[in-house]
Amino acid sequence: MTTVARKHEDEAVMAHLLRRAGFGATRDQIDQYVARGYEETVEDLLNPSHGEPEDQDLMDRYFIASVEARSVGHADPQWSWRLATSEKPLEEKIALFWHSLLAVGGIKLDHGLEMLTEIELFRRVGLGSFRTILFEISRNPGMMYWLDNQNSHKDAPNENYGRELLELFSMGIDDMGEGDYTEDDVKTAARAFTGWASKPTPPPFFLGPFPMEFRFDASDHDNGEKSFLGETGNFDGENIIDIIVKKRATARFIAMRLYLYFVSDEPDDEEIERLTDVFQETDGDIRSILRSLFNSDHFKSAAVRFHKVKSPAELVFGAARLTDRFDIPDMDSSLLANQSLFMGQHLLNPPGVEGWHEGEEWVDSGSLIERINFAASELGRVEAPGIRRMIELVELAGDDLQPEEFVEACLDAMGSIDLDNGSKAVLVEHAGQSGSMGSADRIVEMFQLIVSTPDYQYC
């Protein structure tokens, strides 16, 4: 590989990492990351500093109704701002991952404050041990309410949480609906979680929502002996989680979901087995699994690049971040959540306990028109600093570009993205016909065409 080709490949791999571990990066950010080094960047992404962000106070002052938010509609400006501006992109990306996998729907839990509390939970523990994540979500009052655990009593266990914990949150089932556990295990898990519930909160009208609290009611907990996945004892919910997280089925299920979310819509059995091993070797440390995933040759290979359909959130915040236009948390950023909703992903309100169906199912004829129109309008914001910079980068590429060079310069300026040869050929032809390629109008037009391609629907 020549030096130029090497550099180009390094940038392409870095851009790929930032699209998957975050919401994409600008050309200048990619240069900075490349200078820092790939593995160093992976570490930076995996180890975001914790603590309350400096702009929380600013956001609370601008989005007054989102403080102790009553409904999802009041709450989503807060997350929108984070997704559009956070400099810790993997923290938001992993929160979005758990938000879909450990899904609590706003439809039943119409409580904006509690939905935001959950997202904060995922930011806080989402890159840590899977045991901690499962434990915390099992003590999350919103989850307990959502899956009816407050209706689960010692003498009448409700199986909803016990079942979904096994089926959707940890061990999983195969295509035939079979899991490595039995109906008796579901019933036992339900018994073990009796007494785990949310404290009743006063109704929100007219005073606004009250913070929800977890409550363990020992008098309503089944203290009897239980058999679960071959082990016997007086188990409570925490013991159940300890048993679940040691199972290979759990390791494989989480490895699979991480793979589908971060690598490709098409599972690769060998790589998923490898990540399953990492899960078991590290007691389910999500950070270690992702480190291994991002640093693998498989992840860096051209074969998986652009092989994952962007979720609406990835598309919206990816395109919006290119504009670099969010100085203060105003309507501009909060409206981005609406765009995601128009494309089929209502943040803070997943459609059910299964979360969203991802991959190609994101794209239907209605949502595709929304995706293209939104992205094209973002790239048309010629006053935005990010777009001005992109135009400048294309202009710097030379005065006298051939159509093919022009298209390549535009793709590069947009953050080292690429298109399939078929789509690219049509765009090159378009560039050749439209004259005065170097003008800002023509450059923006090419940006808009690029985000309209089927290729751009993938990340």
Partner 1 sequence: MANNSNGHSKKNLVVIQLSGGNDYLNTLVPYQDGHYYDFRPNMGLRGDDLIPIDDKLAFNSHMGTFKSLFDQDKMAVLMGIGYPEPNRSHFRSMDIWHTAQPTTTSSEGWLGKANSIIDPEGKNPITTVNFGRGLPRALALQGVSVASVGALESYGLYTGLAGASNKDAMLDTISRIYQPMADGGFPSRRILETGRGALDGADLLREAPRTYSSDVEYPEDNPIAQSLKGIAQVMSAELGTRIYYAAHGSFDTHTNELVNHALLWDQLSTALACFLDDLKQQGKGEETVIWMFSEFGRRIADNGAGTDHGSGGAAFVIGDSVKGGLYGEYPKLGLADQLEGDVHFNTDFRQVYATLLEDVLGVESEPVLKQKFSTLDLVRS
Residues engaged in binding partner 1 (CB under 8 A): 71-72, 105-108, 110, 205, 306-307, 309, 338, 341-342, 344, 349, 351-354, 357, 360-361, 363-366, 368-370, 372-373, 376-377, 380, 382, 420, 422-423, 426-427, 429-430, 433-434, 441, 445, 448-449, 452-455, 457-458
- Measured from the CB atom, is 213 or 441 closer to partner 1? 441
Q: Which of 430, 429, 441 has the alpha carbon at shortest distance from 394?
A: 441
Q: In the numeric block, which tokens belong to residue 302?
A: 């051209």
For the bound state, the minimum distance from the C-beta of residue 291 to partner 1, rounded and expressed in Å, comes to 29
- Measured from the CB atom, is 152 or 452 closer to partner 1? 452
Cα(446)–Cα(270) distance, rounded to whole angstroms? 39
- Measured from the CB atom, is 44 or 455 closer to partner 1? 455
For the bound state, the minimum distance from the C-beta of residue 190 to partner 1, rounded and expressed in Å, comes to 17
Q: Which of 412, 415, 406 has the alpha carbon at shortest distance from 443?
A: 406
- Measured from the CB atom, is 106 or 157 closer to partner 1? 106
3-state secondary structure of 382: coil
For the bound state, the minimum distance from the C-beta of residue 366 to partner 1, rounded and expressed in Å, comes to 5
E strand segments, 309-416: none
The CA radius of gyration of the chain, in Å to the nearest whole number, is: 24
- Measured from the CB atom, is 105 or 157 closer to partner 1? 105
Could you give the maximum distance between any two Cα atoms of the chain, in Å? 81
For the bound state, the minimum distance from the C-beta of residue 10 to partner 1, rounded and expressed in Å, comes to 23
> Could you tell me the CA-to-CA distances from 436 to 382, 388, 400, 401, 455 in Å, in that order?
18, 18, 10, 10, 26
For the bound state, the minimum distance from the C-beta of residue 421 to partner 1, rounded and expressed in Å, comes to 10
For the bound state, the minimum distance from the C-beta of residue 269 to partner 1, rounded and expressed in Å, comes to 19
With both helix axes pointing from N to C terminus, report the angle between 312-323 and 72-85 in degrees, rounded to the nearest 10: 50
For the bound state, the minimum distance from the C-beta of residue 288 to partner 1, rounded and expressed in Å, comes to 32
For the bound state, the minimum distance from the C-beta of residue 449 to partner 1, rounded and expressed in Å, comes to 6
For the bound state, the minimum distance from the C-beta of residue 420 to partner 1, rounded and expressed in Å, comes to 5
Do 338 and 370 touch, CB atoms closer than 8 A? no
For the bound state, the minimum distance from the C-beta of residue 86 to partner 1, rounded and expressed in Å, comes to 25
- Measured from the CB atom, is 416 or 423 closer to partner 1? 423
- Measured from the CB atom, is 279 or 374 closer to partner 1? 374
Cα(154)–Cα(223) distance, rounded to whole angstroms? 8
Do 162 and 226 touch, CB atoms closer than 8 A? no
Residue ranges in 141-268 assigned as alpha helix (H): 141-146, 160-167, 183-192, 237-245, 248-262
Do 30 and 14 touch, CB atoms closer than 8 A? yes
- Measured from the CB atom, is 2 or 365 closer to partner 1? 365
- Measured from the CB atom, is 275 or 336 closer to partner 1? 336
- Measured from the CB atom, is 39 or 420 closer to partner 1? 420
Cα(427)–Cα(444) distance, rounded to whole angstroms? 13
Dihedral sign (CA 335, 337, 340, 346): negative
Burial class (CB in 10 A: 0-12, 13-18, 19+), 166: buried
Cα(306)–Cα(314) distance, rounded to whole angstroms? 13
